[in-house]
């Protein structure tokens, strides 16, 4: 470990000016199934930048802030540059994984599971046998969700559940324990996503009302009591993902998902039926149209014509 004086003149970690022009590959995308080639290109690019690929596997350890402040500062800057570079060479749907990671090492470990889901799904679909109408519908629904950032988590869960199932129409007589997963399960997942957006929209309306009128009544708007929470309006401490909150370590999407499930359980009436959200299948000109409306400008509506 270098002494304080050496840390000033020759810190153990130097600043790296990344030459991103060395990277020559399409953006990382689950739709293109290009993780293997993208990974190789990314590692080689960092390797030629003074061995910066060591930040991906954790071999370049963060120095102690007190004893090596300059080296620590350089490490933080290099780590941030790599995270920023990583975010620029992936599709929008993959950016959530990088955005929530504190280090390049964490982001690098979290990317493969997300990328391998659709590869596994592709193999599983072919293993399910001939393409049935319901399986084709599932593929269309999953494909339509892939380009909607707000449905990133839902898309990931649906793809994983279908891949782990025994198909949309398994032979339950031959195998009573077979796991069926079809378009009705995806519809329920979309209904849950809509409910979460409805809840966020309601929270946004409350926040807007607070800003426009000093006399607004905020007693019905949930507020987090966690002092470390950067955005306290719209949830309670139980669902807070900040340090000290009940969902610490989870993503905002995971917190909203858990919050909605708890809310849905409360709203279940005595007959065991749950309130239905705005999800419908309509017929127009002989075509069946699956339409899910999420009331946000950035999301619009998901429309599939079958």
Long-range contacts of the stretch 33-41 (C-beta < 8 A, 24+) = 33/118, 33/119, 33/122, 35/111, 35/112, 35/115, 35/116, 35/119, 38/89
**CA separation (Å) from 158 to 41, 44, 123, 163?**
30, 33, 15, 9
The predicted-structure confidence for 128-187, as pLDDT tens digits, reads as follows: 666 678 877 887 888 777 767 677 778 878 888 888 888 888 888 888 888 888 888 888
Query: The tokens of 3 are what?
Result: 């002494």
Report the helix count and the strand count for the chain, using DSSP H and E: 10, 3
Question: 305 - beta bridge partners?
Answer: 289
pLDDT at 128: 60
pTM above 0.75, yes or no: no
pLDDT at 120: 53
Q: Evaluate whether 175 touches 260 at the Cβ level (below 8 Å).
A: no
Rounded CA gap, 40 and 25, in Å? 10
As a whole number of Å, the end-to-end CA separation of the chain is 65
pLDDT: which is higher, 23 or 296: 23
pLDDT at 294: 35
| Residue matched to tokens 């019905």 | 220
Question: 191 - beta bridge partners?
Answer: none
The predicted-structure confidence for 59-72, as pLDDT tens digits, reads as follows: 999 999 999 999 99
Rounded CA gap, 247 and 256, in Å? 10
Q: Where are the domains of the chain?
A: 4-115
- The mean pLDDT value of the chain amounts to 75
SS3 233: strand
Starting at the edge strand found earlier in the chain, the sheet holding 301-305 runs 279-284, 287-293, 301-305
Query: The tokens of 278 are what?
Result: 């705005």
The predicted-structure confidence for 112-122, as pLDDT tens digits, reads as follows: 655 545 555 55
Confidence of residue 124 (pLDDT cuts 50, 70, 90): low
């Amino acid at each position: 470990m270098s002494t304080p004086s050496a840390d000033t003149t020759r810190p153990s970690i130097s600043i790296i000016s990344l030459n991103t022009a060395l990277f020559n590959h399409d953006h990382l995308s689950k739709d293109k199934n290009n993780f293997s080639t993208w990974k190789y290109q990314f590692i080689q690019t960092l390797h030629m930048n003074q061995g910066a690929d060591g930040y991906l596997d954790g071999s370049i350890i963060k120095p102690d802030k007190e004893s090596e402040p300059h080296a620590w500062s350089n490490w933080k800057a290099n780590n941030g540059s790599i995270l920023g570079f990583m975010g620029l060479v992936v599709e929008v749907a993959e950016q959530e994984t990088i955005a929530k990671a504190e280090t390049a090492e964490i982001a690098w470990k979290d990317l493969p599971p997300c990328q391998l889901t659709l590869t596994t799904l592709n193999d599983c679909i072919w293993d399910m046998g001939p393409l049935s109408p319901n399986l084709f519908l599932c593929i269309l629904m999953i494909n339509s969700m892939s380009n909607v950032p707000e449905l990133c988590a839902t898309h990931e869960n649906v793809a994983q559940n279908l891949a782990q199932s025994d198909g949309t129409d398994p032979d339950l007589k031959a195998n009573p324990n077979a796991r069926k997963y079809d378009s009705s399960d995806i519809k329920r997942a979309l209904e849950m996503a809509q409910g979460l957006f409805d809840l966020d929209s309601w929270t946004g309306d409350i926040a807007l009302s607070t800003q426009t009128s000093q006399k607004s009544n905020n007693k019905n708007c949930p507020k987090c009591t966690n002092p470390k929470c950067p955005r306290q309006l719209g949830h309670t401490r139980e669902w807070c993902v900040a340090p000290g909150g009940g969902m610490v370590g989870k993503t905002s999407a995971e917190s909203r998902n858990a919050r909605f499930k708890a809310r849905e359980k409360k709203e279940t009436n005595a007959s065991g039926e749950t309130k239905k959200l705005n999800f419908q299948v309509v017929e127009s000109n002989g075509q069946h149209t699956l339409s899910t409306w999420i009331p946000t400008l950035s999301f619009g509506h998901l429309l599939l014509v079958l």
